[in-house]
């Protein structure tokens, strides 16, 4: 997390790449869960609820592992900057859930 001219943009690229890989991986893993047709009469909320909860839990697990790995490689003076990326990831979680169910 060096303080260069383009360091923010490089880390933003890594962040977006991580988010895309995690989203695509989790959507592939959870493709069998839930109902594909949301507007049928006998549709219940339970399968989609299970899919959403499993997605959230697995996403948080991936984020925790990533933060632990990155914090081991980053010097101590830059570790406090990791939290802004964690907060951005948490803000992106509802967006990914909306995309997942549309």
Taking the chain (102 residues) in consecutive chunks of 10 residues, what is each chunk's mean pLDDT?
A: 70 90 89 66 68 89 90 80 86 86 75
The C-alpha angle with vertex 62 and arms to 58 and 63, in degrees rounded to 5, equals 115
pLDDT (0 to 100) of residue 83: 84
pLDDT (0 to 100) of residue 58: 92
pLDDT (0 to 100) of residue 31: 81
pLDDT (0 to 100) of residue 27: 86
Chain centroid to Cα 76, Å, comes to 25
- CA-CA distances (angstroms) from residue 28 to 33, 39, 59? 10, 22, 13
Task: Identify whether the C-beta of residue 34 lies closer than 8 Å to the C-beta of residue 51.
Answer: yes
């Amino acid at each position: 997390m060096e303080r260069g001219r383009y360091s923010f943009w490089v880390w933003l690229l890594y962040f977006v790449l991580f988010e895309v890989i995690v989203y695509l991986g989790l959507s592939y893993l959870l493709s069998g869960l839930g109902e594909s047709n949301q507007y049928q009469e006998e549709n219940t909320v339970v399968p989609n609820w299970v899919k959403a909860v499993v997605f959230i839990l697995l996403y948080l697990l991936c984020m925790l592992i990533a933060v632990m790995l990155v914090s081991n490689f980053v010097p101590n003076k830059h570790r406090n900057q990791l939290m802004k990326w964690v907060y951005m990831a948490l803000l992106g979680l509802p967006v990914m859930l909306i995309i997942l169910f549309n």
